[in-house]
Amino acid sequence: MEIMETAEERIEERIKAPISSDRLVYYLYRRPLHPELFEIYNSTEISHVNYGALIWITGCSHVITFSSGNRYLSEVIGPESELLPENGLSTRFVFRGEKNHEGRYSNGLRYYMSSNLERMSEAVLVRTYRELWDHGSNRRVFHAFPKDGHPTLAPFALIDYETRQRELHVNAFHCFPGQKAILKSQSIFEISR
């Protein structure tokens, strides 16, 4: 007799999986996502006169939910997950090298995302890592994880943002020292009308 896994067991299994840049997938939803789908390590809420946003660090990955009235866009960068819904999914792809995505939606929202999963030498990794760590460890949304595959550097996620009148600009950095890789992404959420 086969026993079905519960959602909690699948979440636990995903949380315990090693942090890996090779498994990162990009999802864009036209709806908010439930926090129960994620292990949230750090978060912030942005309240602006024209919009709001939730930013969650969810492992060495993230979720950004942008809202203006009853209009939503949710960006997820994280491991492949069967727990994420198909309902409202607009775009999905696996990260390899440089990726870009742009969307204009009938509800008046626009979205731009540019990313680069960069593999680097040890020397470049250490220099870039230290610059990002120094910049980010005391700013915005940051979380460091236990060492995983590198003798001295720990994986981390850093998300910085800038609010503008009708736009939210988000810069995210996910560092995977054990694989000598950093995923850099820039996202712009814009209210066009």
pLDDT range class, residue 60, cuts 50, 70, 90: confident
Residue 35 structure tokens: 């926090």
- Structure confidence at residue 19 (pLDDT): 62
pLDDT at 188 over 50: yes
Closest CA to 22 of 80, 75, 62, 76: 80
Starting from the edge strand earliest in sequence, which strands make up the sheet with 24-29, in order?
A: 42-47, 52-57, 62-68, 71-79, 24-29, 89-94
Average pLDDT estimate for 67-72: 95
Average pLDDT estimate for 24-35: 94
Burial 23-59 (b: 16+ CB within 10 A, else e): ebbbbbbbeebeeebbebbbbeeeeeeebbbbbbbbb
- Structure confidence at residue 2 (pLDDT): 44
pLDDT range class, residue 15, cuts 50, 70, 90: very low
pLDDT in tens, 74-117: 999 988 888 899 999 999 988 877 889 999 988 899 999 999 99
Q: Which helix (H) or strand (E) covers residue 104, if one does?
A: strand 98-104
The predicted model scores a pTM of: 0.86
Domain borders along the chain are 7-191
